[in-house]
Each structure stands twice: as C-alpha cells, then as structure tokens.
Amino acid sequence: MQAKFISKARLTKQGQITLPLEARKDLDIDIGSELYWYEIGDKLIIVKDLTSPNDLIKNLKKEVK
C-alpha cells in the first residue's frame, strides 16, 4: 500500500466537505454512495465498505507490510 496525497478539503459552516474528484474516480464513488468514517487516534479514516473497527485496523496493518 502506498499513501497518496490527493487534495485538501475545507469544512463548510454546515459541516460538509467535498470529496475530491480524483478520489471519487480512483475509488469508484458515485452520487448516492455511502461512506463510513472511523476515528483512529488522531486520524480520520473513510472507507467504502462497512467493517468493524478491529477488522479495519487489521486490514490497515496488513496493507502497510
């Protein structure tokens, strides 16, 4: 797994952010797609598939190896 910087986003007064187009294309995220947010330490992780926090951490560790 390689980390890839895509863009930065700004939080609006309404608490919204825009998911960068490159990320939407790379990850095949369309209008109406559901995304799941996890907070791990001081990191915010967004994923397409719902998973348990423990499984998410295991998968992230596997990807880093």
Is the overall model pTM greater than 0.85, yes or no? Answer: no
Calculated CA dihedral for residues 54, 41, 34, 49, nearest 10 degrees = -30
Q: How many residues does the chain have?
A: 65
**Domain-wise residue ranges, the chain:** 1-65
pLDDT band at 65 (very low <50, low <70, confident <90, very high): low
Topology of the domain comprising 1-65 = Pemi-like Protein 1; Chain: D (2.10.260)
10-47 per-position pLDDT tens digit: 999 999 999 999 999 999 999 999 999 999 889 898 99
